[in-house]
């Protein structure tokens, strides 16, 4: 390698490292919309305070963050959200899916969410709230987040569409136990997870309570590509576990399946949807 090539390689490596750090900071800040101090970011991401400070100033100069007060916390501006909303709007995802999600929310009177597979991960991208009074689950901060596979209803439905080997590989890559405070009924061992997936396949849809979150129950169905049959996402119904009993969830089965089929057919109208089957060809198909 010539000195010039070594110099170019060094610049590329430094650029990659800086980009990774910037994206890690932005992802961390998304979870803290009220703002976060530099010291907390540095500790959480194992980065030097001085480096985080310089990075925040750079992000501030291009409009992605702002300081709430002199020497105070930093918070995201609306720019990042605007980019995401613009992308979703132009992709056609919202146009084709929202009426279907709204209809399922009206039929179930609970929270309905849709996830899509992107780069090998399930991400919550659509929501409709059907509960208008009383107890209700309304996790607005989770939109745009990667779904924890082993503990969530959507994740369990997705994993059940794979072979056991592929499901274990996906779970071990992400982590079996959800960070934070997962529900007491979430799978704690691979053996427990496999039993859950077996039940999902036999039932035809996923169903759990106090798994992803204490006090929450949810059910989910896989959305498949209309031509290839490959999984492209999931649709779920969630609500308080005191109201979303197993009997109630069983009663929502037809409505959930209808929504999954409608989303499958509607996906033809979105360029984003049409490409989602490409990354799942290695999965072993299982009727879910």
Mean pLDDT of 264-278: 65
In this structure, whether the domain defined by 87-280 belongs to CATH 3.40.50.1360 is answered with no
The predicted pLDDT at position 284 comes to 42
Higher pLDDT, 142 or 12: 142
Chain centre to alpha carbon of residue 133: 26
74, two tokens: 């930093």
| Domain 3-77 -> CATH class | mainly alpha
The predicted pLDDT at position 31 comes to 78
Per the document, the length of the chain is 288
Domains of the chain by residue range: 3-77, 87-280
Sequential DSSP letters for the chain = --HHHHHHHHHHHHHHHHHHHHHHHHHHHHT-TT-B-HHHHHHHHT--HHHHHHHHHHHHHTTSEEESSTT--EEE-SHHHHHHHHHHHHHTHHHHHHHHHHHHHHHHSSEEEEEEEETTEEEEEEEEE---SSS----GGGTTPBPPTTTSHHHHHHHHTS-HHHHHHHHHHH-SSPSS---TTS--SHHHHHHHHHHHHHHTSEEEESSSSTTEEEEEEEEE-TTT--EEEEEEEEEETTTS-HHHHHHTHHHHHHHHHHHHHHGGG-HHHHTGGGGGTTSPP---
Axis-axis angle for helices 49-61, 38-45 (nearest 10): 120
Predicted structure pTM score: 0.69
Decide if 256 contacts 104 (C-beta within 8 A). Answer: yes
31, two tokens: 């979870």
d(CA 43, CA 22): 15
The predicted pLDDT at position 283 comes to 45
Burial class (CB in 10 A: 0-12, 13-18, 19+), 45: middle
Residue range 23-73, pLDDT digits in tens: 889 888 887 888 899 999 999 999 999 999 999 999 999 888 988 876 679
Task: Please state, for a pLDDT cut of 90, what percent of the chain lies above it.
Answer: 51
β-sheet bridge partners, residue 126: 114
The predicted pLDDT at position 227 comes to 87
Q: Report which of 197, 258, 209 is spatially closest to residue 238, judged by C-alpha positions.
A: 209
């Amino acid at each position: 390698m010539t000195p010039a090539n070594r110099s170019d390689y060094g610049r590329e490596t430094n650029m990659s490292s800086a980009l990774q750090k910037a994206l890690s900071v932005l992802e961390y800040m998304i979870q803290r919309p009220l703002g976060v101090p530099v010291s907390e970011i540095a500790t959480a991401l194992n980065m030097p305070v001085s480096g985080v400070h310089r990075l925040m100033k750079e992000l501030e100069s291009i409009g992605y963050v702002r300081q709430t007060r002199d020497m105070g916390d930093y918070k995201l501006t609306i720019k990042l959200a605007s980019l995401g909303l613009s992308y979703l709007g132009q992709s056609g995802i919202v146009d084709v899916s929202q009426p279907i999600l709204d209809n399922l929310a009206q039929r179930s009177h609970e929270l309905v969410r849709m996830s899509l597979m992107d780069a090998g991960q399930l991400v919550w991208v659509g929501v409709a709230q059907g509960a208008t009074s009383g107890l209700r689950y309304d996790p607005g901060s989770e939109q745009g987040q990667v779904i924890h596979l082993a503990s969530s209803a959507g994740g369990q439905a997705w994993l059940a569409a794979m072979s056991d080997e592929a499901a274990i590989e996906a779970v071990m890559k992400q982590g079996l136990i959800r960070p934070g405070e997962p529900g007491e009924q979430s799978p704690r061992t691979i053996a427990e997870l496999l039993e859950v997936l077996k039940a999902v396949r036999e039932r035809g849809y996923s169903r759990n309570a106090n798994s992803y979150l204490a006090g929450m129950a949810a059910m989910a169905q896989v959305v498949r590509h209309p031509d290839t049959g490959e999984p492209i996402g999931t649709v779920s119904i969630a609500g308080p576990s005191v109201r979303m009993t197993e009997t109630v969830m069983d009663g929502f089965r037809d409505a959930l399946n209808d929504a999954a089929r409608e989303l499958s057919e509607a996906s033809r109208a979105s360029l984003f949807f049409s490409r989602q089957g490409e990354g799942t060809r290695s999965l072993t198909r299982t009727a879910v």
